[in-house]
Structure 1
Amino acid sequence: MATRLVQINMKAHDDSALGGFWAEVLGWHVSSEEPGVTNLEPEGFVYPDPVAVCIDLVTSAEPKTVKNRVHVDLATTSAAHQAELVARLKDLGATLADIGQGDVPWTVMADPEGNEFCVLDSLYGETGPIASVVVDCTDPQAMARFWGQAMDWTVHKVTEHSAVLRSAKGVGPYLQFLRTPDVKTGWNRVHLDIRPYPGDDRVAEAARLRALGATAVDLGDSEVSWTVLADPEGNEFCLLAPS
C-alpha cells in the first residue's frame, strides 16, 4: 500500500474570491465542488496526476492569527520573470510580506487573505507554476522518514535544515520540510491531502500510517468520507478515499 500527495487544502473566509486570485496566479481552472468549496486544477487536468498538486479552498470563519506552517513556492524562469510575476501579483491583490527572511533570492508575499507564499527565480520549466509545497518543521530528518514511508514519493535530499521529496515519476512540484524555530499553535489553515491508489483500503492505510507515527485527530461527531490524521510533529493531513 502507498499514498501520494494530490492536493493542498486551504481555509478561506471567501473561497470563491480567493480561488479566483489563485486561479489567475497559476492560470488554472476553477470549479465548485459544493457551496463553500472551490477547486483549482490545470486546464485539461485528469485528476489525480503527480504533474500537479491541486488546491482546494474551503470556507472557514476562523481568523488567521499566525504564520501558516504550510505554503507554496511559485516558480519562474529567471530573475526578470520573477520581477514581472511579483508586479502582476501586486496588481491582483497580493502584498509583500516580512517574516524575518532577511536578504534572500526569493520574494515573500501574502495573498489577499494573508496566506504567505514565496516567488522563486527558477524551476518553472521543471515543475510548472508551483515549484514546491513547503511545510515548517523542527526535525526535517524525522519528517523525511515518516513521509518517505507514508507516500511513494522519492526522498531526494535530507540535511539538518531541510528534506525534499518528489513524485516517484519525477514530475510536478517538490514537497519540502523546512526547519524553523516556530512552534505550532492551533490547527494549520493549510494542510496536505493524500490519497491511496485504486483498490487499496482507506481504513487499512490509516492503520499503516498510525504504525509509522501518525496520530488520529478527533473530529467529534462529524461524519466525513476522509480520515484526518496528524504527522509526528502534529501537522494535520487528510487521507482521502482511494482513487
Structure 2
Amino acid sequence: MLSEEVRRITHPVAQFDGLAIDVGDPQSQAEFWRVTLGGRVVDDGEGQLRVVPGEGRPAREILRLRKVDSPAADDARVHVDVRLSGEEPDGLIAAGATVVRRPGPDPWFVLADPEGNEFCAFPGGDDRPPGMFELVVKCSDAHRLARWWAAVLGGRVEDEGEAASVVGAPEFPWDYMVFDPVPGIDRYRGRVRWHLVGREDEPEALLEAGATVLTRPGRQQRWWMLADPEGNEFLFTPPGA
C-alpha cells in the first residue's frame, strides 16, 4: 500500500492549471503579462485571452485574462512573486508597471500592473533565473490551509514560522505556493483565482474535504466554481474538458 506522502505526490485530487485574473481591458493586460513573463498571447475563441509560457518556462504558467465590467478592488489577497533579472524593475516599469513601494525592511519591491493588481518583485543578482517563482495566498490559518492544499495538489508542507508553503506538487509551475497569515483577510474578495483539472469528472473529493460550491456547470460551461475552506475561489474542470 502506498504511503500517504507517496499517494499525495503520485495521485493528487487535482492538478494546478494556471491562474485567472479579472480585468477591465484584456488586451492591455495580456500585453503587459506577456512582456513580464516572456510568454505569448493566445485567444481561446471564447473572448478570453491567455498568456501561455515562453520557451523554457513551466507548462502550467498560464494566465487567463477574464473581462469583467467592474473588477473588485485589489487587495493582493492572492498575488504572484517575480524575480528580477537585476536590481531594479526597469523592464517591468517600461512595460507599464508602477512602483507601490521600494525595498525597505522587506527587501523587495511591491509593483502594480496597469490595472492596479499588486505583485512583489525581488531583486536578482544570483544564479536563479528571473521570472515568476511563487504564488502567495493571504489567509487566516496558514498551516491549516497549506495542509489542505497539499492534500489536494500533492507535495509537502514546509513550516516558515507563522507562514507555510506547499512545495513539490505535481504540475505546479513555480517553486512555492505560500500561505501568509493576515488577520481579517477573509473580509475581502480579490481578482485572482486558480484553475484545477480534476482526476474525476465530479469534485466529490474536494467537497468531502471541505470545499464549497459557488457555481455549478451549466449549458455554456463545464466548470465548477468552488471555494476552499477560507473562501479562496478556484475553478474545477473535468479531465479532458
Structure 2 matches for 1:19-98, cutoff 5 A? 19-43=30-54, 52-76=60-84, 81-83=86-88, 86-98=89-101
Deviation at 1:232, TM superposition (A): 0.5
Q: Do the aligned partners of 1:109 and 1:116 also contact (CA within 8 Å) in 2?
A: yes
Q: Partner of 1:82: helix, strand, or coil?
A: coil
Q: Do the aligned partners of 2:77 and 2:189 also contact (CA within 8 Å) in 1?
A: no
Deviation at 1:150, TM superposition (A): 1.0
Structure 2 matches for 1:185-200, cutoff 5 A? 185=187, 187-196=189-198, 200=199
Unaligned runs of 5+ in 2: 1-10
Q: What do the CA deviations read for 1:167-211 (whole angstroms, capped 9, x no partner)? A: 345983121111112423454310111112xxx3221xx110111
Partners of 2:22 and 2:127 in 1: how far apart? 29
Q: Do the aligned partners of 2:15 and 2:172 also contact (CA within 8 Å) in 1?
A: no
Q: Do the aligned partners of 1:141 and 1:160 also contact (CA within 8 Å) in 2?
A: no
Letter of the 1:15 partner, please give it.
P
- The change in CA–CA distance for 1:219 and 1:241 in structure 2 (over 3 A counts) is closer
Task: Report the counterpart of residue 201 of structure 2 in structure 1.
Answer: 202
Q: 1:9 aligns with which of 4, 11, 20?
A: 20
Partners of 1:137 and 1:117 in 2: how far apart? 16
Deviation at 1:125, TM superposition (A): 5.8
Letter of the 1:165 partner, please give it.
V
Aligned-residue RMSD, C-alpha: 2.8
Letter of the 1:217 partner, please give it.
L
Q: What do the CA deviations read for 1:184-241 (whole angstroms, capped 9, x no partner)? A: 3454310111112xxx3221xx110111111111469774211111000011111122
Deviates more, 1:60-69 or 1:105-114: 60-69
Unaligned runs of 5+ in 1: none
Partners of 1:193 and 1:170 in 2: how far apart? 12
Partners of 1:29 and 1:177 in 2: how far apart? 29
Letter of the 1:61 partner, please give it.
D
Q: Do the aligned partners of 1:16 and 1:38 also contact (CA within 8 Å) in 2?
A: yes
Deviation at 1:156, TM superposition (A): 4.2
Deviates more, 1:64-73 or 1:2-11: 64-73
Task: Report the counterpart of residue 137 of structure 1 in structure 2.
Answer: 139
User: Is 1:230 aligned to 2:232, yes or no?
Assistant: no
**Identity level (%):** 27
Deviation at 1:122, TM superposition (A): 4.7
Letter of the 1:236 partner, please give it.
E
Partners of 1:241 and 1:123 in 2: how far apart? 42
Q: Do the aligned partners of 2:23 and 2:29 also contact (CA within 8 Å) in 1?
A: yes
Structure 2 matches for 1:164-203, cutoff 5 A? 164-168=165-169, 172-173=173-174, 174-185=176-187, 187-196=189-198, 200-203=199-202
Q: Do the aligned partners of 2:15 and 2:170 also contact (CA within 8 Å) in 1?
A: no
Partners of 1:41 and 1:170 in 2: how far apart? 15
Structure 2 matches for 1:115-130, cutoff 5 A? 115-122=117-124, 129-130=131-132
Task: Report the counterpart of residue 162 of structure 2 in structure 1.
Answer: 161
Deviation at 1:53, TM superposition (A): 2.4
Deviation at 1:11, TM superposition (A): 0.7
- The change in CA–CA distance for 1:98 and 1:18 in structure 2 (over 3 A counts) is same
Partners of 2:213 and 2:136 in 1: how far apart? 22
